[in-house]
Amino acid sequence: MAETHWDAIVVGAGLSGMTASLELARRGCKVLLVERLARAGGRCGAFELEGHRFTVGCNDFGARIVTDLARLGVHVAFEPSTNVVDFGDETHRLPPRPRGALRLLRHAPSVLRMVMRVRNGEKRPLGTLFRDHERDGMGFRMISLLAYALGTPPQYLRADLLRADFSGELGYGHEKMVVPIGGPQVLTDAMLARLRSTGVTLRLGTGVQAVKKHARGFEVDTSSGSEHARVVLSTVPASACRGRAGLKVCQVLFAVPRTTPFVDARTLIVSPPRAEEWMAALDAGHWPETFGFHLFRDHEAGDTRAFTGFLLAPRGQDTLDASRRARVLDSVKSRIDAHVPGFSSALRFERLLDPSEYEAHHGVSASLAHEIPIADEDALPIEEHEPGLFRMGNATEPPGDHANAAMLSGLWAAERALRHLRG
Ligand SMILES: Cc1cc2nc3c(=O)[nH]c(=O)nc-3n(C[C@H](O)[C@H](O)[C@H](O)COP(=O)(O)OP(=O)(O)OC[C@H]3O[C@@H](n4cnc5c(N)ncnc54)[C@H](O)[C@@H]3O)c2cc1C
């Protein structure tokens, strides 16, 4: 009989897998963390392209990340996230400066109405909670921003899922967003350093092919041989989506001389009105006339500053032809120029990665959300049908398709795995 070598094998070194591994190691377990890519971090990190350094995916985090990292002994400095949001007919800085707060005040009734509707909305999608004329109000526009960030047309976003993002119980801290100083690779590097110091064995470039019940634990077939453990925690998503998959992104990459001005914030978000219409067009597989995107200041090197941005691609259009690429880039650049005159003429580098290129380049999914629920299903449970087998990441509990939920899922999975190991 093969000897069980590890207490726990964790599959996938994204935020959820690294979090679970750190928690297990901190609590005395012998952990093997297996990652199929040659790098750790999953959708959290940076990459180089033609001498410029850009961000892979997640870049804005709810403030809960600060306490979660402290609990794991990971030291990263964060700063508040700042945004300029172009709503089409009005532009606001979020969080607002005092004068901007006064301008926003006149939207208070609409925002309050939105909060009440969402609070009392049970599991209903927002499309049934707002009448057509109310969708021009700032309240609906603000939740449309969140829906955009989740790759879900606002009318399909369920009120309970939106409430979860701001619930005191889960405490994601999405009302107070923060960004790691130095970018998300700093976060991944700090987690990697802590993994090493807590004795976690990390095997990069090693894919897990199968997990089988074996004696008192599991046999895990990897591309470099079999391993045995008492418990297995995996980020590999359930094979099928129960609803519709979340929309995928195109990534836009720019570099300009460092002296080129930008908006008075880290991120410019362009969110044209009637997001339920342009996002519904994207969801139905068409390019709408206007669409949203966001772009943020990224790494500086020498006298150049990189900018990374994202926009949603129409469902099923993962590969863009040359003329569509040019039209999309032109549209993005002209909206940036409206805020920062001369930005596009200062460009030293520009590139658009469509969803296929994004996935080929980064090796991870370009979907913002794992799925758009079509019914009232809850997130998948962390416990799999087999005792000792746990899943985690965005498709599972707790609710939320974002980095904070991925990390909390890793913490909860580790907690349950420990209970199994000690029970
Ligand atoms: C473009 C983009 C922008 C985003 N921006 C934000 C943001 O600003 N804020 C935010 O909160 N969230 C954001 N998100 C979502 C956020 O990135 C994810 O919620 C989070 O990174 C998920 O972490 P994870 O560990 O669950 O999954 P992942 O990061 O996908 O990691 C899973 C890991 O498992 C590995 N793996 C998979 N299968 C196997 C296997 N068989 N064997 C071994 N390894 C395997 C993968 O290679 C990967 O490294 C964004 C997502 C995208 C795509």
Long-range pairs for 317-325: beta carbons < 8 A, 24 or more residues apart: 317/285, 317/287, 317/354, 317/355, 318/248, 318/354, 318/355, 318/356, 318/359, 318/366, 319/354, 319/355, 319/356, 320/250, 320/352, 320/354, 324/287, 325/352, 325/354
Q: What is the pLDDT along the chain (423 residues), one digit of tens a residue?
A: 445 589 999 999 999 999 999 999 999 999 999 999 999 999 999 999 999 999 999 999 999 999 999 999 999 999 999 999 999 999 999 999 988 899 999 999 999 999 999 999 999 999 899 888 889 999 999 999 999 998 999 989 999 999 999 999 999 999 999 999 999 999 999 999 999 999 999 999 999 999 999 988 999 999 999 999 999 999 986 666 677 888 999 999 999 999 999 999 999 999 999 999 999 999 999 999 999 999 999 999 999 999 999 999 999 999 999 999 999 999 999 999 999 999 999 999 999 999 999 999 999 999 998 888 777 778 889 998 899 999 999 889 998 999 999 999 999 999 999 999 998
Tell me the torsion sign for CA atoms 68, 72, 77, 83.
negative
Model pLDDT, residue 240: 65
State the residue for tokens 């897998």.
17
Cβ(61)–Cβ(67) below 8 Å: no
What pLDDT was estimated at residue 242? Answer: 74
Q: For a pocket test of ligand 1, which of 402, 408, 411, 412 has the largest count of ligand atoms closer than 8 A to its C-beta?
A: 402
- The reported pLDDT for the residue numbered 1 is 43
- Tell me, letter by letter, the H, E, C secondary structure of the chain: CCCCCEEEEEECCCHHHHHHHHHHHHCCCCEEEECCCCCCCCCCCEEEECCEEEECCCCCEECHHHHHHHHHCCCCCEEECCEEEECCCCEEEECCCHHHHHHHHCCHHHHHHHHHHHHCCCCCEHHHHCCHHHHHCHHHHHHHHHHHHCCCCHHHCEHHHHHHHCCCCCCCCCCCEEEECCCHHHHHHHHHHHHHHCCCEEECCCCEEEEEEECCEEEEEECCEEEEEEEEEECCCCCCCCCEECCEEEEEEEEEECCCCCCCCCEEEECCCCHHHHHHHHHCCCCCCCCCEEEEEEEEECCEEEEEEEEECCCCCCCCCHHHHHHHHHHHHHHHHHHCCCCHHHCCEEEEECHHHHHHHHCCCCECCCEECCCCCCCECCECCCCCEEECCCCECCCCCCHHHHHHHHHHHHHHHHHHHHC
Task: Tell whether ligand 1 has an atom less than 6 A from the beta carbon of residue 45.
Answer: no
Q: Point out the ligand 1 atom lying closest to the alpha carbon of residue 405.
A: 19
| 40 CA closest ligand 1 atom index | 49
Q: Give the pLDDT of residue 3.
A: 57
Q: Strand pairing partners for 212?
A: 219
| pLDDT value at residue 51 | 94
The ligand 1 atom at the shortest distance from the C-alpha of residue 19 is 25
Distance CA 331, CA 177 (A): 28
Whether the CB of 43 sits within 6 Å of ligand 1: yes
Residue 207, ligand 1, Cβ within 6 A: yes
- pLDDT value for 239: 60
Distance 15 CA to ligand 1 centre (A): 7
Do 159 and 134 meet the contact criterion of CB atoms below 8 Å apart? Answer: no
